[in-house]
Amino acid sequence: MTKHSGFERQRRAAETERTREIAAAWQASIPAPIAATFEAQVRAAHERGPAERQPDMAPGTAPRPPRPGHEPKPPKVDTNARRRR
């Protein structure tokens, strides 16, 4: 856990309070029907919760794919091999 100085805590509290004042002023400035619609959308988003985290890689890929330019070389096929009797 990070410790913050008294000045930092006061600055953050003032910043939070100022943000709340700005949000309240903005909500008071928009018409009531639009504010109600916005409030309903915000409430629905909060009830929905965070989105499910997407997988890091596509299904079927190797767990640790090689870096670009460092792919393994294909096996060497010797086309001039001599036949043994």
Q: What is the per-residue pLDDT for 10?
A: 96
Q: Quick one: DSSP state of residue 30?
A: S
Residue type, 80: N
Asked whether residue 84 carries a pLDDT value surpassing 70, the answer given is no
Q: Where are the domains of the chain?
A: 6-47
Per-residue pLDDT tens for 1-35? 788 999 999 999 999 999 999 999 999 999 999 99
Structure tokens at 12: 């953050």
Structure tokens at 34: 């639009």
